[in-house]
Each structure stands twice: as structure tokens, then as C-alpha cells.
């Protein structure tokens, strides 16, 4: 609890180009949660180097992502928006938690197995202990809730296990975090293979709508979206392409799938695609405009970065000092 509010932590990596899926599935939700919780939203750059990065590129992407958090509507006075690498507590707590995590547990992580297969030439120890760093992120701020997608659930589970194990030895040090799973419809699928999640690393540029795509690009991508030959508009798993379009439409307009079906049931796929594209454009345009403006205001963004890093560091240190004392590190002499 901070000032009577529950604490929320989440983070995103600045790798790849952000997609509509990232926005509708995560960012848009974050904005909604920001009144109810005391929120920490991190650009998790320590996580990014588990895979080889071009330094200049990483730095630029990280700044863009942080700017985008603000452009999407997160007020940096209310939400702590910061770079993970600016708060040394993440790495420090991560080391301690490494000593409370078993190899066997980490070996079971499906994301590690996937990533190790994908980056067979660089299966480094950081990739292996990635979930421990994630646990440190969350536990450092005593987070009560963590909005995560299904793909990160296993990492949240291990976070809870590590926290419980630590508390079992030393008493109530960490808050045990809960997953916050957003309402359905927020999982956006590829426009080309609707059984697959829309991904920022997809090689087919028509599969994903990028957050910074122009209006005509967005319209073109939706026109090319894969559907089916059933020629009827219904919200069902048998029609994953149409279902995805309806989900996107609902996420942009706030309508329910039933309402959307009603609106389109007598119309053709072409009309649905146009309507979805327009809904997407009207959601993304203001974000894009604000992003452009903020990108030009270096002083303002620098200030956001500095102030929020200090705020994050304050809370991080509070937990870290407690943990260091519990495990038996000597007191600091002042």
C-alpha cells in the first residue's frame, strides 16, 4: 500500500516495433487502472539485453517507449514511468532472489525453452534467470497486482513462489502479488494468421498493425486481413479472423461482441474491415499526434525520466534495505 492505494507493477520491453496488440492488450488497460492503483510502469531495459541488442537502437527504442507511455495517457505525475536500468535495486534484489530460486524451477519455464531454441547461439545465464529479474521488479515495489498476458503467467507464478519461500524463512517481507488479467477481447491476433498472437517480431508486415502506422497503411492492412469463406458475421472460434476483427472493434469502441455482431450481421466482410480500420485509426491518431509533440519536448521528457527514477528508487531502496538486513548483510554506517 502507498497512500492507501494498492500497488500495481508492470513493464514492457523496448524491443521491436509496438503493435496495436500491445496498445489494446496492455497500454490502454494501464491507463484505465491508473486511477485505482499506485502504478509503476517500467521500460524494462535490463531484460532486453538477454538477447543481443544494437546499443544505439536500444537506447532510442527505450526512449520512444517511455514517451509512448505518456502519449497513451499515463500521467507521469501520478504514475511512476521509468527505466529499469536507472534503479539499481532491480539488479541487486535480483541477485539475492537468485539464491532463493532453484535451477529446476527455471528449467520448467516455457519462455526460456522457446527463447533458447530461437537464440541457440546465445543461451546466456541472463536468459535463464530472466524470471528472477522479473520477480525482483515486482517484489521491489511490494506490488499487489500485476497486469500480465497469458504468456507471462508462469513468470508471475514463480514470482509468487519465490516470495513465499523468502517470507517462509524471514517473515513477512514481500507482498504476494496477484495477476490482473484484463477483460476478454484484449488479446489481439495476427491479421494474417488469426490463430497466432499479433507480435512485434512477426516477419510478415501485413500481420501486425504498428502503433505508428499511417491511416492508409492501417486501412490497407485491414483490407488484406485473412477471413474465411463462410460469408457470415458471427463471434465464434470457428471464424478466428472475423472474431479477431470484432475483438479489435470492441476494444476500440468499448462495445460488447454481441453489440458488434448485431451492428454487422447483415453486412459484408468488406464493410466490417473498413469499420474496424476506421475505429483503429480514431484510437491511434490522437496517441500518434501526442507522441509527435512529446518527442519534440526533450526537456519535459528528461524531467519525467529524472523525477520518476528518483521516486522509483525511493521505494525500491525501502524494500531492498529491509531484504539486505534480513539476509544478514552488515548495517550501513552513516
Closer by beta carbon to ligand TRP, 177 or else 241: 177
State the catalytic residue, choosing from 6, 77, 78, 197. Answer: 197
The site that binds ligand TRP (CB under 6 A) totals a number of residues, namely 12
Is 200 a residue of the active site?
yes
- Contact region with ligand TRP (CB under 6 A), list: 67-75, 121-129, 134-142, 262-270: 134-142
State the catalytic residue, choosing from 6, 187, 200, 255. Answer: 200
Binds ligand TRP by CB under 6 A, chosen from 7, 24, 70, 134: 134
User: Are the C-beta atoms of 74 and 41 separated by less than 8 Å?
Assistant: yes
Q: Comparing C-alpha atoms, which of 156, 140, 164, 165 is closest to residue 323?
A: 140
- Residue 106 CB-half CA count within 13 A: 19
Query: Looking at beta carbons, which residue is closest to ligand TRP?
Result: 11
Compute the distance between CA of residue 320 and CA of residue 90 in angstroms, rounded to an integer.
Answer: 9
User: Are the C-beta atoms of 71 and 287 separated by less than 8 Å?
Assistant: yes
Binds ligand TRP by CB under 6 A, chosen from 64, 152, 175, 190: 152
Q: Determine whether 169 is exposed, middle or buried from the number of CB atoms within 10 Å of its CB (0-12, 13-18, 19+).
A: exposed
Closer by beta carbon to ligand TRP, 11 or else 194: 11
Q: Is the dihedral of CA 106, 94, 78, 4 positive or negative?
A: positive
Instruction: State the DSSP H helix or E strand holding residue 12, giving kind and residue range, or none if neither.
Output: strand 7-12
State the catalytic residue, choosing from 5, 6, 77, 115. Answer: 115
Site for ligand TRP in 34-93 (CB under 6 A): 44, 47
Closer by beta carbon to ligand TRP, 13 or else 190: 13
All three cell numbers of 306:
529524472
- Rule CB under 6 A: which residues touch ligand TRP? 9-11, 13, 44, 47, 134, 137-138, 146, 148, 152
Amino acid at each position: 500500500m502507498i497512500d492507501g492505494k494498492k500497488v500495481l507493477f508492470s513493464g514492457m520491453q523496448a524491443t521491436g516495433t509496438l503493435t496495436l496488440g500491445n496498445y489494446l492488450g496492455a497500454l490502454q488497460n494501464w491507463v484505465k487502472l491508473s486511477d485505482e492503483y499506485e502504478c509503476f510502469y517500467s521500460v524494462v531495459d535490463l531484460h532486453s539485453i538477454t538477447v543481443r541488442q544494437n546499443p544505439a537502437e536500444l537506447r532510442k527504442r527505450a526512449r520512444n517507449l517511455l514517451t509512448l507511455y505518456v502519449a497513451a495517457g499515463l500521467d507521469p505525475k501520478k504514475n511512476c514511468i521509468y527505466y529499469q536500468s536507472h534503479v539499481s535495486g532491480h539488479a541487486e534484489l535480483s541477485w539475492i532472489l537468485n539464491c532463493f530460486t532453484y535451477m529446476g524451477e527455471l528449467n520448467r519455464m516455457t519462455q526460456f525453452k522457446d527463447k533458447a531454441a530461437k537464440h541457440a547461439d546465445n543461451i546466456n545465464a541472463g536468459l535463464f534467470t530472466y524470471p528472477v529479474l522479473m520477480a525482483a521488479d515486482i517484489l521491489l515495489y511490494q506490488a499487489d497486482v500485476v497486469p500480465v498476458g497469458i504468456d507471462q503467467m508462469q513468470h508471475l507464478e514463480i514470482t509468487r513462489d519465490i516470495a513465499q519461500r523468502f517470507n517462509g524463512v524471514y517473515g513477512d517481507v514481500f507482498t504476494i502479488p496477484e495477476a490482473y488479467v484484463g477483460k476478454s477481447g484484449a488479446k489481439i491476433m495476427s491479421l494474417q494468421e488469426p490463430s497466432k498472437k499479433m507480435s512485434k517480431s512477426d516477419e510478415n508486415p501485413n500481420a501486425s498493425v504498428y502503433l505508428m502506422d499511417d491511416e492508409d497503411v492501417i486501412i490497407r492492412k485491414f483490407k488484406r486481413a485473412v477471413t474465411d469463406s463462410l460469408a457470415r458475421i458471427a463471434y465464434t472460434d470457428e471464424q478466428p479472423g472475423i472474431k479477431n476483427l470484432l475483438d479489435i472493434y470492441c476494444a476500440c469502441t468499448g462495445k460488447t461482441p454481441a453489440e458488434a455482431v448485431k451492428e454487422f450481421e447483415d453486412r459484408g466482410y468488406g464493410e466490417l474491415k473498413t469499420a474496424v480500420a476506421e475505429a483503429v485509426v480514431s484510437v491511434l491518431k490522437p496517441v500518434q499526434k501526442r507522441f509527435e509533440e512529446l518527442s519534440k519536448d526533450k526537456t519535459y521528457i528528461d524531467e519525467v525520466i529524472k523525477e520518476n527514477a528518483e521516486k522509483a528508487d525511493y521505494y525500491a531502496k525501502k524494500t531492498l534495505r529491509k531484504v539486505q538486513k534480513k539476509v544478514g548483510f552488515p548495517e550501513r554506517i552513516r
